[in-house]
Amino acid sequence: MIVSLIGYRGCGKSSLAPLIADRLNWRAVDSDRLIEEQSGCTISDIFNVHGEAEFRKREAEILEQLYAEDQIVIATGGGAILNSQTCELMRQSGPVFWLSAPTEELVRRLTQDSSTTNTRPALTDLKFEEEIRTVLKRRIPVYQAVSDFEVSTMNREITDLAEEILQQIQGWTPQMRTAVKEHTS
Ligand code: S3P
């Protein structure tokens, strides 16, 4: 089984994945860091030099390799759910957790995170805050459709969130899915 964490930039996927993996005695993988390692440059460099489409291609390829493995907690990039094949692999491999937060909170976290400039290239021509609002609005229905659980990260300690997710994982079986969800990207 593989546990996937999805959600917009700044929702806490990369911080939570190792906490959950440690408790399960599994491996945590941050797909963005893996792309950077394999490409030998930053995510922003890939966007700037090769464009977003090339980044999405590399992202889908790396995730395909990861979903062939077992016992990993994957912190996916915020846009990984834009690829429907990736979403299928995610859902076939185990429970998918959407780490949600109100838009204003994500704006606040992303503005304060100093790594934003290097690791989070612009996704549109819009101004910083407007981009978050616009892209998030488009993606929320996808995060909702692809995930098995929405985990609100607002005003929550990271250890609490890990506990909540671990409890859901323990009782989880694919049969718990009441309906086959469809997603449109
Ligand atoms: C992206 C999110 C980033 C990274 C890339 C694109 C997106 O990952 O994959 O900059 O489209 O939302 P994080 O969500 O880990 O910041």
The model's pLDDT over 83-133, given as tens digits with 9 standing for 90+, comes to 999 999 999 999 999 999 999 999 999 998 877 766 789 999 999 999 999
Atom 11 of ligand 1, nearest CA residue: 79
Reply yes or no on whether the pLDDT at 178 is more than 60: no
73 C-beta neighbours (distance < 10 Å), count: 28
Residue of the nearest CA to atom 3 in ligand 1?
A: 77
Tokens for 73, please give them: 């907690």
Q: Are 26 and 72 in contact (CB under 8 A)?
A: yes
Could you tell which of 120, 138, 143 is best to mutate to test the pocket of ligand 1, judged by most ligand atoms within 8 Å of the CB?
120
**In a 3-state reduction of DSSP, which class is residue 159?**
helix
The pTM assigned to this predicted structure is: 0.94
Q: In 31-161, at which residue ranges do the beta strands (DSSP E only) sit?
A: 72-75, 96-100, 149-152
**pLDDT of 176 higher than 80:** no
Centre of ligand 1 from the C-alpha of residue 77, in Å: 4
Q: Would the CB of 12 count as within 6 Å of ligand 1?
A: no
User: Using the 8-state DSSP alphabet, how is residue 8 labeled?
Assistant: S
